[in-house]
Amino acid sequence: MSKRREQLLQELIYANRAYQIAVDKMDDACFRLIGINGTDGRCLDIIDLSGGISAGELARAVDLSPAAVTTVIDRLERMGLVKRTRDPDDRRRVIVQATDEVARIAEIAYMPMGVEGVELLADLSDKELEAVLRFLRVGAELNERHAQRIRGLAAERASEPPAA
């Protein structure tokens, strides 16, 4: 590996970590605006992104117990942020969807950043945007895979007898 490539990869790692921290700060600020905690916010983001999801699917997506997810959904529903509806294809199945209130909040919190982001990316070519998109997709898959690996390590560690 060339020195330049090694340097670029190191810079990419640091820039990505700084980006993740900044995203966490932005999300935290939005969650505070709404009046919810980070777990509820993460669930709300997945509900909104999915367009509608069952409680079981949400529990798997956030790696929480079904009971914990039900509690989150109850809180979000009381706040008017989500609604439960029957699945038209399977009336036994309940789908959780974001309400229009979530779109209103997103417009206040995220729309100005989106407008500015589009301006910042205006000078990137389609090929460069495709590379960024590929990086984000591959990075999301990589993080999901290794989060699962680490959860397995944590479960193994929890099942070990305490050190004497």
- Return the CATH number at 7: 1.10.10.10
Considering the domain boundaries, does residue 119 fall inside one?
no
| Enclosing H/E stretch for 23 | helix 3-34
Task: Give per-residue pLDDT as tens, 113-147.
Answer: 999 999 999 999 999 999 999 999 999 999 999 99
Residues 94 and 30 placed together within one structural domain of the fold: yes
> Cα–Cα distance between 53 and 98 in angstroms, integer?
10
Angle CA(130)–CA(141)–CA(89) in degrees, nearest 5?
Answer: 100
> Cα–Cα distance between 99 and 44 in angstroms, integer?
10
pLDDT(29) > 80: yes
Q: How many domains does the chain have?
A: 2
Count helices and strands in the chain by DSSP H and E runs: 7, 3
> Cα–Cα distance between 109 and 118 in angstroms, integer?
16
Residues 95 and 141 placed together within one structural domain of the fold: no
The reported pLDDT for the residue numbered 164 is 65
Which residues make beta-bridge pairs with 54? Answer: 95
Residues 94 and 145 placed together within one structural domain of the fold: no
Task: Give per-residue pLDDT as tens, 48-84.
Answer: 999 999 999 999 999 999 999 999 999 999 999 999 9
Considering the domain boundaries, does residue 118 fall inside one?
no
Tokens 């997709």 appear where? Answer: 137
Task: Give per-residue pLDDT as tens, 88-121.
Answer: 888 888 999 999 999 999 999 999 999 999 999 9
The reported pLDDT for the residue numbered 119 is 96
Residue 79 structure tokens? 């706040």
Instruction: Report how far apart, in Å, the C-alpha atoms of 151 and of each of 110, 146, 160 are.
Output: 31, 8, 14
